[in-house]
Amino acid sequence: MLIKRVIGFIFAFTFLLLNYSIATENTLENSIAKLMKVEPKQIELRKQSKGMTSSQNYLFELNSKKYVVKIFGKKCNPKYKLKEIEAAKTFSDFGLGSKLVAVGNKNSFYIREYISGETLKYKDLKDDKVLETLAKAVRKIHGVKNDASARGLLERAQKHCKKIAKKRIATPSGFESSYEKFKEMLKSLKVSNGFCHNDLNPHNIIFTPEGKIYFIDFGNSGYSNVYEELGYLTLLNGITGEKLERFLTVYYGRNPTSEEISQVKLAQKLVCFVSATVYFDFSETKKDKNIDINLRQERLDKLLKSSELKSISDCIKNGEIVSIKSRKKNLIKRCAVAFYKSFLEM
């Protein structure tokens, strides 16, 4: 009898949840239709992959043109929503992001035009014209006047190191002392502030068939140190060596000084540590945590010393950097250790 009641409860709950979801989407369709000045039946939403936040993206087509809708989660801070929408408008106004079309009531969502293109690949940057286009685009956005502040490398490292400690996630031996070294090294990084995207990994850079560069996902955008952005951008897109000097020559509009080059290289090293903290934060399953933390650490130490572990540079060139959303935690671990190894060796 009890089993039947439980099954009945689950069925009723699922039914109500499904109907709530449908009602929510219908309300969204009505809101979008009103903003686009069309009938609700003309709006057919297709859910896109979910990001790391509670926000959700939808795609719809109207008059043979595609649009993207970003809906903020209910618990999203109103200041954060306004900040991202203003950043989206800034990138739109300067031709570096898709056109911002409309904003929903109380900044609950915004609509932008869909960009037809592919995320930037390492092979794309072998073409000097693409490299130059990217450098000019980044320089252009850094020159925009915007007062919205953004988290820097230190805040990101602090956030994930706290989570690692709280969740008792294993890290290689000496990781805590490396964190202290990271903070000391960060003091040597010069500050040159500008408006930054702050998450220019290849997935947030769109390269169109016409050869244009656009940026997406503006949640981290704000006024911060451009050296940190240049380090992040160049490292995660494999822009090193002669390619780095070429990029900086176009970025500055002149030959970069030796100090400017060394500062960007320092930023790359710092980004390696921050990236390691992010990947370690997402590297363990519940099953992993049932294993003694000392044993987990020994395994990471062994991997760190292994000759089979690829450099982060090779991982980037071969497209082997997995998303932290991947279910393959063993690959996330390898990326975390590879980033950490690069921090120790660069």
- The string of pLDDT tens digits covering residues 241-259 is 999 999 999 999 999 999 9
d(C-alpha 284, C-alpha 276), whole Å: 13
d(C-alpha 174, C-alpha 154), whole Å: 19
Res. 314: pLDDT tops 80: yes
pTM reported for the whole predicted model = 0.88
d(C-alpha 46, C-alpha 326), whole Å: 22
Which structure tokens are listed for 15? 């039914």
Residue 208 pLDDT: 94
Question: Coil, strand, or helix at residue 204?
Answer: helix
Residue 27 pLDDT: 87
pLDDT tens digits for range 98-130: 999 999 999 999 999 999 999 999 999 999 999
Numbered ranges of CATH 3.90.1200.10 in the chain: 118-345
Contact 270, 227 (CB under 8 A): no
- Measured over the CA atoms of residue 94, residue 99, residue 101 and residue 102, the dihedral's sign is negative
Looking at the domain 118-345, which fold is it?
Answer: Aminoglycoside 3'-phosphotransferase; Chain: A, domain 2 (3.90.1200)
Res. 188: pLDDT tops 50: yes
Which structure tokens are listed for 329? 């935690």
d(C-alpha 189, C-alpha 73), whole Å: 36
Residue 20 pLDDT: 43
DSSP 199: -
Residue 54 pLDDT: 72
The residue written with tokens 């069925």 in the block is 11
Please choose, from the candidates 78, 85, 90, the residue with its C-alpha nearest in 3D space to the C-alpha of residue 195.
90
Please choose, from the candidates 221, 159, 175, the residue with its C-alpha nearest in 3D space to the C-alpha of residue 339.
175
Res. 18: pLDDT tops 80: no
Which structure tokens are listed for 301? 């130490």
Please choose, from the candidates 44, 50, 37, 57, the residue with its C-alpha nearest in 3D space to the C-alpha of residue 112.
57
The model's confidence at residue 17, banded by pLDDT at 50, 70 and 90, is: very low
Numbered ranges of CATH 3.30.200 in the chain: 2-113
Contact 268, 231 (CB under 8 A): yes
The model's confidence at residue 5, banded by pLDDT at 50, 70 and 90, is: low
Res. 25: pLDDT tops 60: no
Degrees to nearest 5, angle at CA 204 with 86 and 330: 130
H-type alpha helices, the chain: 2-36, 78-93, 128-142, 153-166, 175-186, 226-236, 241-252, 258-281, 293-305, 312-317, 329-345
* DSSP string covering 150-197: ---HHHHHHHHHHHHHHTT----TTHHHHHHHHHHHHTTS---EEEE-
2-113 classified as CATH 3.30.300:
no
With a CB cutoff of 8 Å and minimum separation 6, the contacts of 143 are 194, 195
End-to-end CA distance of the chain: 66
